[in-house]
Amino acid sequence: MTEQKIQFVPPGAKPGHGARPVRDGEKLTIRVMRYNPADPQSVPHLQSYELEQAPGMTLFIALNEIRDKLDPSLQFDFVCRAGICGSCAMVINGRPTLACRTLTRDVGPEVILAPLPVFELIGDLSVNTGKWMRAMSERLETWVHMKQAELDLTRIEEKMDPDLAEKIYELDRCIECGCCVAACGTARMREDFVGAVGINKIARFRLDPRDARSDADYYEVIGDDDGVFGCMSLLGCHDVCPKELPLQTQIAFVRRKMAAQGFR
Ligand code: SF4
Ligand code: SF4
Ligand code: FES
């Protein structure tokens, strides 16, 4: 293990940017941004680890190998290993994406890993996306606002048109990984900006026929510079979303609807 000074990685660089496929058995160098905000002695720095490229190795496997064999103090998050839980998002060679879905052969032979910006840093590659997502969710009230005031457990479930259910499902595929927020210039500048993830959620609830809210109600929560009007439309979010959600279309749609409310 060697310690080195932090080097600048161009934002927006793709995994594999400047890289060539790594052959099995070849040396793989993984350089990790280390910092523990809870330790007053800790200073941000890049730490290098060397591994051997193995067939089908993902960054999930590589980081676990480092923690098991080289450095048990390394902090990072994984739950599902299958691109479902969203907890393994990190900046890989300058681009926010999921480590469990990234093959080391595509990003090496030298890989630089950093934690997602914007979110509270827990340590090394681990960030608190949950705290950010909860605050966004409370601000936008991302739950179905039922039309009838009283809960009636004897009522049978309302039918939904399958095509509409499919459209809602498409937007519900968001795994709250935070990649879109980490790639967003506005989120860096405005602490309370709801990001593409929040705008996408408004688009989702607006589609839902069970939700009683009107566009005027949505305007109340998203019709300002911390909402859809703070978005600069540079679409870093759309480029990095690992679930390939149609963020560009949804942002444009919500902006149009909210602008119409603003002129009422
Ligand atoms: S919109 Fe995409 S990038 Fe953003 S949190 Fe959801 S899945 Fe992740
Ligand atoms: S298009 Fe809007 S939400 Fe997406 S990255 Fe740019 S400013 Fe952020
Ligand atoms: S570990 Fe769940 S998305 Fe990567």
Phi, psi of 155 (to 5 degrees): -70, 145
The predicted pLDDT at position 261 comes to: 87
Would strands 89-92 and 110-114 be described as parallel, antiparallel, or unpaired?
antiparallel
Whole-model pTM? Answer: 0.89
The string of pLDDT tens digits covering residues 33-71 is 999 999 999 999 999 999 999 999 999 999 999 999 999
The string of pLDDT tens digits covering residues 87-110 is 999 999 999 999 999 999 999 899
- On the question of pLDDT at 230 being above 80, the answer is yes
Helix 195-207 crosses helix 247-262 at what angle (to 10 degrees)?
70
How many whole angstroms from 90 Cα to the centroid of ligand 1? 13
Question: Which ligand is closest to the CA of 188, given by its number?
Answer: 2
The CATH topology of domain 129-262 is: Fumarate Reductase Iron-sulfur Protein; Chain B, domain 2 (1.10.1060)
The CATH topology of domain 2-114 is: Ubiquitin-like (UB roll) (3.10.20)
Q: Which atom of ligand 3 is nearest to the CA of 84?
A: 3
Q: Which atom of ligand 3 is nearest to the CA of 99?
A: 4
Q: Which atom of ligand 1 is nearest to the CA of 243?
A: 7
Phi-psi region of 119 (alpha: psi -120 to 50; beta: other; left: phi over 0): beta
User: Ligand 1 pocket test: which of 175, 237, 239, 250 has the largest number of ligand atoms within 8 Å of its C-beta?
Assistant: 175
Q: Would you list the domain boundaries of the chain?
A: 2-114, 129-262
How many whole angstroms from 100 Cα to the centroid of ligand 3? 6
